[in-house]
Every structure is written in C-alpha cells, then in structure tokens.
Amino acid sequence: MAQAAGAGWRATFLDRVDLRRVFTPKVAILAVAMALVGYLAVVPLGYLLWGTFLSEGGTLTLEHFRRAYTSQYALTTLAWNTLLFTVGSAAIAIPLGTALAYLNVRTNVPLKSLVFAASLVPLIIPGILHTIAWIFLASPRIGMINQAVEPLLGEEFFDIFSLAGMALVEGLHVTPLVFLLMVAAFKSMDPSLEESALLSGGKRFTVFRRITLPLVKPGIYAATLIIVVNGMSSFEVPALLGIPDGIWVFTSRIWRVLSGYPSDYGQAGAYALSLLAITTVGVFLQSRLSRRGKSFQTVTGKGFRPRPLELGPWRWPAMGVVVLYFTVAVVLPMFVLFYISTQKFYQPPSWETLSNMTLDNYRYIAEHSQVKRAFRNSFMLGIGSATGVMFMMAIISWIVVRTKVPGRWALDNLSFLPMVVPGLVMGVALLFVYLRAPLPIYGTMWILLIAYFTRYMPYGMRYASTSMYQIGGELEESALVSGATWWQQFRRVTLPLLMPGLIAGWIYIVMVSVRELSSSILLYSPGNEVLSIVIWEQWENGQSNELAALGMVMIALLVVLVTVGAKLGAKVGVKSE
Amino acid sequence: MLTVKDLVKTFPGSKGEKGRVRAVDGVTFEVEPGHLYTLLGPSGCGKTTTLRCVAGLEDPDTGVIKVGDTTMFSSNERTKVPANKRGLGMVFQSYAIWPHMNVFKNVSFPLEVADRKGRLGKSEIEQRVGRVLEVVQLDHLASRQATDLSGGQQQRLALARALVMEPPLLLLDEPLSNLDAQLREEMRFELKRLQREMGITAIYVTHDQVEALAMSNRIAVMNGGNIEQIGKPRDIYERPSSKFVAGFIGTTNFLEGRVGRREPGNVYVVSTPTGEIRTRSEADLPVGTDVILSIRPEHIGLAPADTGVPGPNTWRGRVETRAFLGESVDHLVHVGERRLQVRCPTTVSIAPGNDVLLEFPADLTSIIPADR
Ligand SMILES: Nc1ncnc2c1ncn2[C@@H]1O[C@H](COP(=O)(O)OP(=O)(O)OP(=O)(O)O)[C@@H](O)[C@H]1O
Ligand SMILES: [Mg+2]
C-alpha cells in the first residue's frame, strides 16, 4: 500500500509537469510510427509532382509532358493500350477466379485439393518467369504450342506478342488473387439462401446468376479493384511481350526513357503522373461502385455449415475446367522452365533433347558470384522489409483501432495510399527524392528497402488491422491495470495475440518482395542486384537456360519459405474456441 | 479507503444523437476498509463506467477519486495517476484471461511488469503466485494453458491475477455473470469468503439484486448515471427511499396516498383510496404531501377473515388467485379497486374466493414522496 501510494505520488507530481506528460515513451513510439508512415506515403509523391512540373530554372512547365507525348507515343495510344490490357486481363482473371472459388467452396467438384493448389501456385511464380515461360510456349516462331498445333492450324497460329497475348498471360497470373478473395466471400455466404431459391423452383444456373452472384458482389468489387490496379501497374508483361511489337503502355515507356542515355527524369515523371492519375480515377470509380454494393454485406456471419451443392453430371465438365486451368497456368509454364533449365541451348523438345539433360546451368548459377549475391540481397531485403512493415503496421493498426487519437483515419488512409501507386511510379518518385535529398541512400540497398517497405505497407496494414479487430480491448486493459507500461502491454499481450496475422502478412510480403521487379529495375545499382534483376539481365543477354535454372531454384526456395512459414504460423496460433 | 466525489463522465453521442451521453452524472460515495461495496443498477446506468474511472481506464470529466490518502484523479488539481500506476486489482466481465499464456504466467504477469525497484525476485514471484493459486484452488492447474480452463476456473484465475499484487482495492465488474446459475451461487459464497478472510476492500458491480443483497456490506443503487440510495442491504430492501429502488430490488406493492396526520414517534398516518395505513419514517414530510407506499409481499400478514382480529393497519380483501412457489405461496388479493401481492409461508394457503384480512406492519412499510 505504501508502495502504491509512493508510486501514485510520483506519478501525480510528474503528471503536473505538462512536458513530461507529453513525452512518454508511448507517445514517442506512436509519433515516430505516424511520422514514418506519413513520410513514406507522402514525400515521394510530393517530389514527383515538384520534379515533373518544374523546369530546371524553377518555373512551372508542361515541357516534360510535351516531350513525353510525341506523335509516336500519344497519350491516347498509351492510355488505350493500358485500358485494353487491363480490361482483358480482368476479363480472364475475374470469371476464372470466381468460378474456381465457387467450385471449390460450394460444390462437390472432384479433386478439390488440386483446385486449391492450382489456384495458389501461380502466386509463387514470379511474374517475369511466368512471362518468359509463355514466350517459350507461344511465341510465333519458337513457341512449343505453336509447333505442336502446326499440322492442324498452320504456322504461327498463336502470337503471344500481342495485346491479346499480354492480357492472357497477365490474367492467368493474377487469377489466384481473385480466387483467394472469392473463396472468402463464398465461405461467408449462408448456403440456405441458395437452397431456398432452389426449393422455390429456380434452375441451378438461374440461382447462381440471380442469388449467388449478387450476394458476393462486395467480394467481386474488391477483386476488380485489385486486378485493375494490378493491370495498370504491371511491368513485366508489357515490357517483355509488348515492346518487341511496339505495343507501349505507360510502365514500359517509363522504363525506356530512364534506361536510355541520358536518363530523362522529367519525361518519366510525366508518364508516372499520368498513370497515377488514371489509376486514381479507376480506384475512385471502383469505390463508388462498391459503395452501392455495401448494402449486401448482411451476408457475413457464422454458424452455418456450408453444404456443398450436388453438381450431378456436371461434375466432370467442372473438373475439366479445373484440370485445364491447372495445365495452362501451372503445368505448362513450370514444365517449360524446367525443360529449358536442363538444356545447353534452346531447341524444341524431342526424344533426343529429353534424353540429353544436363545440370550445367545449375552448376553455373551455384558458382556465379553475382547470382549468389543476388540471392543474399533478395532474401535480406524480403525479410527486412517484411519484418519492418509488419512491426510498424502492428503499431499503426493499434493506433487506428484502439485509440481515439484525432486524425487516426488519416493515418489509416495514408498507410493505404501506396496501394494505388504502381511500382514504376514509386521507383520514379523515389529517384526524384533521393537524387536530390542529401542523404547517402541512392546507390545503396537502402533505397530498395524503402521502396519495398512503402509498397507493401498497405498489405501489412490489412493483415495487422484485421487481427487487431479480433482482439478484445479488455485483454489489453487488464495488462494496464496489472501495472504494465504501454510498451510492456504492447510487447507481452498485444503482439503475441496478433502474431498469427502478423506471420501471415510477413510471409506474403517476403514472397512479393523477393519477386519484385518494377521498382527495383529503376533503383538498383551494380552490386545491389536482386534476383529478379539478374533474371532480367540474363534475359537481355540471351542466357535463357541459366535464367531458367535460376528461376527453378528461386521458386523452390519460395515454396519452402511459404510452407515453413505456414507451419510456423499454425504453431504460434493461439488456441481458442 | 476509496472516496469518489462528484464524478462526471460524458461520452460523445453517436451520430443522430444530440449532445453528449452523461454516463456518470455526479456520483459521490465512500468505501470503508474491508467492505464489499456494491454498485447495483439496471443495464446502462453507468456502473461499469464508474468502475473504469476508478481503475483509470477512463478519464472523468470532473470529480475526485482518492484511494487511501492518494489522490488518483482530481479535475481541480489537474491530477491523474495512469491506470498502470494505481496498483489496483480488477476482474473484467469477460475475465480477459490472456489466451497465449498458461495459468501461472497469467498470474505472474503483474509481478513481472512491476517497476524495476519494486520487482520481486524469481523465487519470490513463484511463491507468491503459488500462494494465490492455492487460495483460489487452482494450484494443481498452474501449467495448464489458460484457454483450457472451465468457466468457473477462468473466473478464479482472473481473481487470482487481480489479487496477486495485494492491491489496496479490488474492482469486480459483474464477475459472476458469465457463469451458469448453479456455479454462480457457489462462487458467490466463495468470493464473499475470500474477501472477508483476506480483509480485502472491494467494489462489486452487478445488476443482480440477489447477488448484491447476499454479498455486500453496502449497496449503492444507481440509475441513469446517479446514485439513488446508499445503505446496508437490509435497509435498501426494507426502507427504499425512492420508487425506483423499491421496484428494482425485489417485488413490491405500491399504494398511492397522501399524508393525513403525523403522530409522535415519527408515525405517519397515510390515507389511500382503499383506506388508512400507519407507518414509521425518519423522513420529514409535511401533512398533505403526496406519497407512495411500498410494501413487500412477504411483509403483509394474511389470515382468513373469520379467524383474524380486525385492528389498525388491517384491511379486508378477497383472494383472487394463488400460486404455489415451493418455498412460499403467493396470493393475489383484491382490496377495493386494488390488487395486492401477498407472499406467505407454505403453512398459509387460502383458496381463491375466500375473504381475508391483510395486516401491514408499520415498520416495514416504506413511505416515499411521490416525486422521487
Ligand atoms: N465508450 C463509450 N462511448 C459512448 N457511450 C458509452 C461508452 N461507454 C458507455 N457508454 C454509455 O454510457 C452509459 C453507461 O454505460 P455503462 O457501461 O457504464 O453501463 P452499465 O451500468 O455497466 O451497464 P451494463 O449492466 O449493461 O454493463 C450507457 O448509456 C452507454 O451506452
Ligand atoms: Mg457494465
């Protein structure tokens, strides 16, 4: 009691001194976290605007835009190509991902675990490898598919170097994102809503169209947002498939004007700002749409056991769709990569080549010091940015969810802002900042870390705040009443309870960081190459066999990482009823 | 031990509501050492908010909170001791057991996070936790994961965690409300025993009047952010000072009337439409005041009309229905225009249709000014 009174007296005294009250460690930590998020989200965009609209002399100018949009690369052409590409990939990914999710969650389609694997594996394959694999599958001259169908359909039937080809490759690659969102949407839907429609005499397809689809509209809107933003920011596919035939989009132009000599930063800024403007308009339109969809969100809830719909004789065609998708999106690309990685130089598969496999390419990458360094760089950056982001977002989501700090909604929005900034735009913006700022960051790994950290902040925030909402406030308050300081409470109660969500987010960020190309390609410098950059360079040098071997190893490592991470996450998961 | 003075706590109203919600609206009370002090009231009356202000989890708008000689909060002196420096123990309604720790860790947490200066050594912590777990009879489960406990065990664990710091004051927010009826009754006695044996001062929040009457040394009945009445359980029950308190605690019969005469010895003669009643009251009510009489069903005497002796405070009525309740028999009796509920021991049971005499004891008939 005497002790409590003593502590009380001291605290009373300190509390009267207002300065002491303001600078508690809690306030310091929160302030640093908030300042950092604000800095990372806002400063690059500010510099981007400034650098693009100001001339050398410091006057307002549109000169950079004039230079960017010559007749050959008119704004309308770039915008039209971007639009077609984005809409095309969405037209493939959204129906496909939704159908796969529906089959998996709500029906008795055979081989369910295959569906799940088929839908998730493409998430692990880096975009650049996926695109290169498709070049070997469907380029007009050397594509294996073209050679296979030549006797039937004639020469050069498929042309991957076209807008349609680009949309197909991108669409197949992002289908898993739609699948994941839609699985969640279908799982939270009360199946009795469908059953009652069936009982009232609706045909199965009518029920799907009139009842099921409208009910999962919020999920479809969310998926559309992600796919549209993704399509507009995509770099690998337009660069590798579009440039050879002169199909330019904003991202590939940004890269081109910066990779030429001398780099034209003003022009890059003009393209970047245009793309950012279009993305923002897209997101705005989407949010208008989904606001109307909110009224359907009464479908969430628990307590029902989803009973799968009997497909009857439709089971087999449904399984055909699944197998076809698995073949096209996973088996073929992986087979091509594997096959090429075992050859000395590219030649179409035949009995002779298949019986003459070699491990030379693997030996090459094991001995090549640049490759080894890239492995180290990629995984260090991935783990560093994932750890940093998740820790920081744990604090930010705590502020947003738990406190009544004024302006916390702004913090929430700021941490989501980078979501709409395409990787290349982020790269340009960071160049603008760190070429000018007197900080020794340009030319080091730090600039890559900053780029990854900023880009993946929104994802980290999503994982962290979802878990934060699930932790009752009294669990924290009881720590406080027990005498814990804010930091003790956060470290010993909040963080451990958040851990499953944080680990899930951590795995995701490591994975996407390791594959990252579009920011890295503008920001890396010799000695700081990451894996995707090495693959890019090998592609430009025509070392496709070494590249394939490197790709195989990279995919294998990512699979191991994801599996171990998921196991770990399941282990620390708190048992609860 | 605890002094709360003029405590006010408002919350911003939700959209569509005007002004702020006055959750606690000028509450004053004092708790003596060793007492179990109950805040009793209906849902939303501000009990939890008051308790959270004492714990330091809410910042009151105005008022003073003192524990012993320490001022924990004072709006005038601009003093505020943060929750983690108050050294109080609290049991939350949800128990707030940390699911990622085992039983031992849950209890040792408050000792482990203590100031470096006041922190106990490892073996001392073990001893102390062991002792507290023994008191709540959980010592054999020390290494079990907290989520694997039953409801009653979780409740005792929450109690152990609150007690381990040996706090000067224990705060309990509906600690029994998550338990099933039988366990609740058991834990009620258990809790009372622990509190008395360890000499703990406790504030107990509940909306269950039976619990409050059974356990408390003092009860403060709250309504709409205010305290309506403070007193010993028996006083609150037998001499409610407002219509709300009389109605909220137990069942009662209300009779409207007016003070007709005052006689020496604090005796009031109240005239009601059905007849006169003599009662005693400490209150000072001038003749002519409109009042309400509150009479508990079990305080009314009942006898068949032909055997009873008519006298003062005796009315004649007729039984309308009766119901056998196991421990007692309830009669609904018609008196003039009124219907009164009368609870009798099982030895008295009068069939419907019979005339009866009702007797009102002067000491157990509460007189409440009509405007309260
Ligand atoms: N954080 C808050 N924001 C706004 N209003 C609040 C908040 N907390 C409590 N209130 C309001 O204050 C009033 C008192 O709430 P309080 O939780 O103290 O009630 P209670 O007496 O504990 O009720 P119960 O028995 O249901 O727990 C209620 O009207 C409640 O709606
Ligand atoms: Mg309450």
Asked if the Cβ–Cβ distance from B57 to A475 is below 8 Å, we say no
CA A73 → CA A257, A282, B275, distances in Å? 12, 22, 102
DSSP-based three-state secondary structure for A94: helix
Cα–Cα distance for residue pair A27/A238, rounded to 1 Å: 46
Which residues lie across from B303 on neighbouring strands? B357
Count the neighbouring beta carbons within 10 Å of the beta carbon of residue A514: 24
Angstroms from A11 CA to nearest CA on chain B: 6
Residue where a domain stops, chosen among B243, B262, B288: B243
* B49, B57, B221, best to mutate for ligand 1 pocket (most atoms within 8 Å of CB): B49
For A40-85, what is each residue's pLDDT tens digit? 888 888 888 887 887 777 777 777 787 777 767 778 888 889 999 9
Are A426 and A44 a contacting pair, CB within 8 Å?
yes
Query: What are the C-alpha distances in Å from A162 to residues A138, A332, A540?
Result: 11, 20, 20
Q: Are residues B220 and B263 in the same domain?
A: no
Same structural domain, B186 and B88: yes
Q: Report chain B's mean pLDDT, rounded to a whole number.
A: 89
Lowest-confidence segment of A11-15, A395-399, A530-534, B320-324 by average pLDDT: A11-15
Q: What is residue A291's predicted lDDT score, i.e. its pLDDT?
A: 61
Residues of A in contact with B96 (CB under 8 A): 472, 474-475, 477-478
**A475 with B96: Cβ contact below 8 A:** yes
Q: Is there a single domain that holds both residue B238 and residue B256? A: no
Per-residue pLDDT band at A166 (split at 50, 70, 90): very high
Where helices occur in A445-543 by DSSP H, the ranges are 445-469, 473-481, 486-489, 495-515, 520-523, 531-540
The whole-number pLDDT of residue A442 equals: 83
Substitution target from B81, B94, B119 for chain A, most A beta carbons within 10 A: B81
Q: How confident is the model at residue A198 (pLDDT cuts 50, 70, 90)?
A: low
* A479 to chain B: closest CA residue: B110
Which CATH number do you get for residue B329? 2.40.50.100
The C-alpha atoms of residue A524 and residue A452 are separated, in whole angstroms, by 12
**Whether residue B234 sits in one domain with residue B262:** no
Q: How confident is residue B41, by pLDDT bands cut at 50, 70 and 90?
A: very high
Task: Give percent of chain A with pLDDT exceeding 90.
Answer: 17
SS3 content of chain A, % helix, strand, coil (to 5): 80, 0, 20
Quote the number of domains for chain B: 2
CB atoms within 5 A of ion ligand 2 belong to B 48
Same domain (yes/no): B64, B174 = yes
Task: Indicate if B224 and B307 belong to the same structural domain.
Answer: no
Q: Amino acid identity of A130?
A: H
B237 and B344 co-located in one domain:
no
Same domain, B63 and B169: yes
Name residue A244's amino acid: P
Strand order in the sheet with B365-369: B275-280, B267-272, B253-263, B290-295, B365-369
Asked if residues A550 and A371 have their Cβ atoms less than 8 Å apart, the reply is: yes
**Tokens 């780029």 map to which residue?**
A451
User: Of the bound ligands, which one is closest to the alpha carbon of residue B222?
Assistant: 1
Q: Are A400 and A411 in contact, with CB atoms under 8 Å apart? A: yes
pLDDT of B38 over the 90 cut: yes
Q: Which residue range(s) make up the domain with B224? A: 2-243
Mean pLDDT, chain A, whole residue set: 81
Same domain, B186 and B273: no
pLDDT, tens digit, 9 for 90 and up, residues B259-289: 888 888 888 888 888 888 888 888 788 888 8
Are the beta carbons of B156 and B136 closer than 8 angstroms? yes
Q: What is the C-alpha to C-alpha distance for residues B130 and B138, in angstroms, rounded to an integer?
A: 9
Nearest by Cα to A337 from A492, A144, A170: A144
Contacts of A467 in chain B (CB under 8 A): none
Q: How far is the CA of B173 from the centre of ligand 2 (A)?
A: 7
Q: Which residue carries 């600690």 as its tokens?
A: B175
Contact A478 B82 (CB under 8 A): no
Number of helices (H), then strands (E), belonging to chain A: the values are: 30, 0
Residues of B in contact with A16 (CB under 8 A): 78-79
- Say which residue the tokens 């005469």 belong to: B261
User: Comparing A149-158, A415-424, A483-492, B85-94, which segment has the lowest mean pLDDT?
Assistant: A149-158
pLDDT at A306: 54
**Chain A residue with minimum CA distance to B98:** A475
- Strands B202-206 and B170-173, bridge-based pairing: parallel
Question: Exposed (0-12), middle (13-18) or buried (19+): which is A151, by Cβ within 10 Å?
Answer: exposed
The set of protein residues with a Cβ atom below 6 angstroms from ligand 1 is: B 11, 21, 23, 41, 43-49, 207
Residue A202: the pLDDT is 65
Q: Are residues B221 and B328 in the same domain?
A: no
Interchain pair A574, B55: CB under 8 A: no
- Within 18-57 of B, beta carbons closer than 8 Å to A belong to 55-57
Q: What's B70's domain CATH number?
A: 3.40.50.300
Residue B118 with chain A: CB contacts under 8 Å: 3, 7
The domain boundary residue, chosen from B184, B216, B243? B243
Task: Determine phi and psi for B71, rounding to 5 degrees.
Answer: -80, 115
Confidence of residue A446 (pLDDT cuts 50, 70, 90): very high
How far is B292 from B287, CA to CA, in rounded Å?
14
Judged against a pLDDT cut of 50, whether residue A301 lies above it is answered with: no
For residues B302 and B295, give the distance between their C-alpha atoms in angstroms, rounded to a whole number.
Answer: 13
B297 touches chain A (CB under 8 A): no
State how far the alpha carbon of B26 is from the alpha carbons of B60, B108, B205, B329, in Å: 11, 37, 18, 42
Mean pLDDT of B178-189: 82
Contact yes or no for A483/B110 (Cβ under 8 A)? yes
- Do B324 and B210 share a domain, yes or no? no
Same domain, B264 and B221: no
Which residues on chain B are in Cβ contact (under 8 Å) with A17? none
Q: Tokens for A19?
A: 């300065």
Question: Which B positions 85-124 lie with beta carbon below 8 A of chain A?
Answer: 85-90, 92-94, 96, 98-100, 109-110, 113-115, 118
3-state secondary structure labels for all residues of A127-155? HHHHHHHHHHHHCCCCCHHHHHHHHHHCC
Q: What is the distance, to the nearest Å, from the Cα of residue A351 to the centroid of all Cα atoms in its chain?
A: 39
Element (H, E) at A271: helix A265-293
Nearest to A123 by CA among A54, A226, A29, A198: A226
Residue B76: closest C-alpha in chain A = A16
| Nearest protein Cα to ligand 1, atom 26 | B43
Name the residue facing A483 among B68, B96, B165 (closest C-beta). B165
Residues 6+ apart with CB under 8 A from B14: none
pLDDT at A139 over 90: no
Tokens of residue A427, six digits = 């790269």
> Does the pLDDT value for residue A19 go beyond 50?
no
| Residue B171, beta-bridge partner list | B90, B203
Q: How far apart are CA B301 and CA B310, in angstroms?
A: 12
Of the candidates B80, B96, B167, the beta carbon closest to that of A474 is on B96
Residue A127's Cβ-side half-sphere holds a number of Cα atoms within 13 Å equal to: 27
Cis preceding linkage at B99, omega within 30? no
Helix (H, G, I), strand (E, B) or coil at B339: strand
Residues in chain A within 8 Å Cβ distance of B68: 1, 5
DSSP-derived secondary structure letter, A260: S
DSSP for A281-297, written as a single string: HHHHHHHHHHHHHGGGG
DSSP category for residue B37: E
Distance A207 CA to ligand 2 centre (A): 45
Conformational region of residue B51, where left means phi above 0, alpha means psi within -120 to 50, and beta covers everything else: alpha
- In chain A, the domains with their CATH numbers are 21-51+359-570 (1.10.3720.10), 62-298 (1.10.3720.10)
The pLDDT assigned to A21 comes to 52
Provide the β-strand partners of residue B36. Answer: B202
Q: Please name which of A407, A421, A417, A416 lies closest in space to residue A465, comparing C-alpha atoms.
A: A416
What is the reported pLDDT for A298?
Answer: 36
- Spell out a b/e string for A531-554, using b for 16 or more CB atoms within 10 Å of the CB, else e: bbbbbbebbeeebbbbbbbbbbbb
Residue A120 has pLDDT above 90, yes or no: no
3-state secondary structure of B304: strand
Cβ(B210)–Cβ(B250) under 8 Å?
no
Contacts of A187-193 with CB under 8 Å at 24 or more apart are A187/A105, A187/A306, A188/A299, A188/A300, A188/A301, A188/A302, A189/A215, A189/A216, A189/A299, A190/A299, A190/A301, A190/A304, A191/A106, A191/A304, A191/A306, A191/A307, A191/A309, A192/A304, A193/A299
Residue nearest to atom 19 of ligand 1 (CA): B44
Most confident of A20-34, A210-224, A412-426, B29-43: B29-43
The residues, any chain, with a CB within 8 Å of residue A403's CB and separated by 6 or more, are: none
Alpha helices in A203-264 (DSSP H): 204-207, 213-215, 217-233, 236-237, 250-259
* CA pseudo-torsion sign B232, B237, B242, B247: positive
**The tokens 């738990």 sit on which residue?**
A402
Interacting residues of A417 by C-beta distance below 8 A, sequence separation 6+:
A41, A42, A45, A458
**How many angstroms separate the CA of residue A76 from the nearest CA in chain B?**
46
Which pLDDT belongs to residue B232? 94
Q: What is the mean pLDDT of residues A138-157?
A: 74
Q: Nearest CA of chain B to the CA of A464: how many Å?
A: 18
CA dihedral A207, A210, A215, A218 (to 10 degrees): 130
What are the C-alpha distances in Å from A383 to residues A112, A390, A529? Answer: 32, 11, 16
Indicate the residue type of A292: R
Question: Is residue A303 predicted with pLDDT exceeding 50?
Answer: no
Task: Give me A555's structure tokens.
Answer: 């995919």
Of B216, B243, B270, which residue sits at a domain end?
A: B243
Give residue B245's pLDDT.
92
Distance CA A242, CA A244 (A): 6
Determine the distance separating the centroid of ligand 1 and the alpha carbon of A410, expressed in angstroms.
28
Name the residue of B15, B21, B50 whose CB sits within 8 Å of the most ligand 1 atoms, as the mutation to test its pocket.
Answer: B21
- Report CA-CA distances (Å) from B243 to A156, B26, B57, B255, B305: 94, 20, 33, 11, 31
| Separation of alpha carbons A378 and A373, rounded Å | 9
Residue contact A12–B79, C-beta within 8 A: yes
Give bridge partners of residue B10 from the DSSP assignment. B22
